Structure 1
Amino acid sequence: MPFSRLATATTPTAHLGLGLAAVGRPGYINLDRDTDLGDDRSVEALRSRTHELLDAAYAQGVRYFDVARSYGRSEEFLADWLNARPDIDDAVVGSKWGYTYTAGWSTDAERHEVKDHSLATYERQRAETEALLGDRLDLYQIHSVTPDSPALTDKDLHARLAEAAAGGLTLGFSTSGPAQADAIRAALAVTVDGEPLFRTVQSTYNVLERSAGPALAEAHDAGLTVIVKEGMANGRLAAPHAPEALQEVAAATGLGCDAVALAWILREPWVGVVLSGAATVPQLVSNLHAPAVDLDADQMTRLATLAEDPRAYWEHRGQLPWH
């Protein structure tokens, strides 16, 4: 994979990363959070849970860890963990800017995050990330780029991002929504002084939402590292919510629906890293079985039939409650 820090993470599970969206804040849209997190959503409870997940992931060979300014205190929790383990020098850290967390550590806030891709927001959030992660930050991504995002056309922003890249920071972007493919292709065209600005792309891709696949393959061919998020469709692909076809394939493999769903993504030749969004250590351990899942052609085809219309998928996602 072209992203050099990730390319050197040659552990058996190097193609699986850990995202902290589900544990960096008390409210999120993943299914079954009441079971996963219980009633104690205090800062210290989630800090402890995050550190437990990071310990387990690192021990199992995971080296890429993904956070964002809008994931509550995820950057802070990750920074604490790294600072307590100065001997760890091969952890690869990616964060994102462009959304501001506004829930005030509540699960029932009217708005949990506010999107703004302006240069002013970049400058403010870059300083906030720097204060927490310092030189441990390897990758900084624009959060949830869409085709109409001003981040794709703001030349002043591009110049500031290019300065950060010249200083050694890798730049990337993530995408969301039914027009992910259009956003990816637009971002691939962004250059500064004739050179591509972005080196990574992070997009939603799973057996239900496959629309970004061709554009992600193009990004890979253009030299970008592809990071896949929401491989479990916010819990829709985990038992007991998984579609019948996925449950039957999982039963045939002897592994969990989650491992099978992630294994299906890992079979794509353009995938660099697939993120686990586990909220518990048992979930993480189950996710990490994905590289061991051996899917045959018939099983791959059967899972591919689960694809939904992108607009229907994103409409469903948009209706998931924060809890």
Structure 2
Amino acid sequence: MEYTHLGRTGLRVSRVVLGTMNFGPQTSEPDSHAIMDAAHAQGVNFFDTANVYGQSLGKGATEEIVGRFFAQGGGRREKTVLATKLYGDMTDYPNEGKLSALNIRHALDASLTRLQTDYIDLYQFHHVDRATPWEEIWQAIEVAVQQGKILYAGSSNFAGWHIAQAQEAAKTRHFTGLVSEQSIYNLIVRDVEREVLPAAQAYGLGVIPWSPLQGGLLAGVLDKEADGSRRRSRSDDELEKLRPQLEKYEAFAAELGHSPAELALAWLLHQPAVTAPITGPRTMNQLDTAIASVDITLDEDALGRLDEIFPGHKTAPEDYAW
């Protein structure tokens, strides 16, 4: 496994993030624990979750599964750079969501209880809260840092100007501010190249892409369709729209000798500011695929070919103006 610093911090994290959103609803607790153990065994030290994960099992269920994994001991917590998130409403109570100082306090304590730990390495804002001023947010986070409950703060689904706004507010308080941004980013969805990636680079944030396989469309969807193993999903309409590009993509992956999923993850690892993509394995094989991508080197010709198949964006304003 390769490691890199998370943004401008001294924290070293694996170049694969183990996403846990499927743990519980899609993957049983024993299998989830086995996947986490296997990730550790192969050098993955960066785990990502969120307080709202759990779906049919109820919000918080995934954090509880991760917490029971840590409770087994054996250095499981100590080996893990643990990231979780807050923002989504946990109950109907009006202050059980968003980024008020009150919810930051309540949500953090609740996550610590579910995760059976006394601190979070990376506490992330799952979405921008346009109603809460940054002075309030940063004061609450500073208190949590002073209490030893969190070490770093990160964002998720922020626009470039949100990152700038957050960092400039933190600067006035002589506070570290954000160290990472978690955005949707993959060969198909490349909007963050306009402003989010440049903002992250300018302010020293590590970028943690979510949905790196675009709901499975970049994981060999046409091959699975041909052999009858593909499950129907909400991406069916998108599949038909992208079919000509995906045909070229899967053929190119075969030409390079990699699976489509490996190639999609490897491409992300070659992009500026990207720390590590989040892989959300339902099975051990999917974890192995993600880890294999770290060892893939793509030359300029291969990267250029991928840009031809899935064109990206220039940095703003050149992307849409002179």
TM-score (norm 2): 0.75
85-94 or 215-224: bigger deviation: 215-224
Post-superposition offset of 1:3 = 6.1
CA contact (8 A) 1:96 1:140 kept: yes
Alignment of 1:87-126 (within 5 A): 87-88=75-76, 89-100=78-89, 116-126=98-108
1:78 to 66, 70, 79: 66
Alignment of 1:197-236 (within 5 A): 197-213=177-193, 214-236=195-217
Alignment of 1:22-171 (within 5 A): 22-24=22-24, 26=25, 37=26, 46-72=28-54, 73-88=61-76, 89-100=78-89, 116-133=98-115, 134-145=117-128, 149-151=130-132, 153-168=133-148, 169-171=150-152
Matched, 1:278 2:281: yes
Post-superposition offset of 1:76 = 0.9
The aligned residue for residue 229 of structure 2 is none
CA deviations 1:200-228 (Å, max 9, x no partner) are 22121111122213532432342323222
Code of the residue aligned with 2:201 in structure 1: it is: H
Query: 2:156 and 2:271 mapped to 1: Cα distance?
Result: 18
CA contact (8 A) 1:266 1:274 kept: yes
Q: Secondary structure of the residue that 1:282 maps to in structure 2?
A: helix
Query: 1:281 and 1:71 mapped to 2: Cα distance?
Result: 20
183-192 or 204-213: bigger deviation: 183-192
Higher-Rg structure is 2
Query: 1:90 and 1:4 mapped to 2: Cα distance?
Result: 21
Code of the residue aligned with 2:265 in structure 1: it is: L
**For the aligned residues, what is the CA RMSD?**
2.7
The aligned residue for residue 306 of structure 2 is 303
193-202 or 52-61: bigger deviation: 193-202
Matched, 1:245 2:245: no
CA contact (8 A) 1:181 1:211 kept: no
Query: 1:101 and 1:307 mapped to 2: Cα distance?
Result: 39
The aligned residue for residue 105 of structure 1 is none
Structure 1 unaligned spans of 5+: 27-36, 38-44, 103-113, 310-323
Query: 1:52 and 1:5 mapped to 2: Cα distance?
Result: 30
Query: 2:10 and 2:73 mapped to 1: Cα distance?
Result: 19
Post-superposition offset of 1:4 = 8.7
197-206 or 299-308: bigger deviation: 299-308
Code of the residue aligned with 2:16 in structure 1: it is: L
TM-score (norm 1): 0.75
Q: Secondary structure of the residue that 2:28 maps to in structure 1?
A: helix
Structure 2 unaligned spans of 5+: 55-60, 223-238, 240-245, 314-322
Query: 1:154 and 1:222 mapped to 2: Cα distance?
Result: 17
Query: 2:248 and 2:169 mapped to 1: Cα distance?
Result: 40
The aligned residue for residue 30 of structure 1 is none
Q: Secondary structure of the residue that 1:188 maps to in structure 2?
A: helix
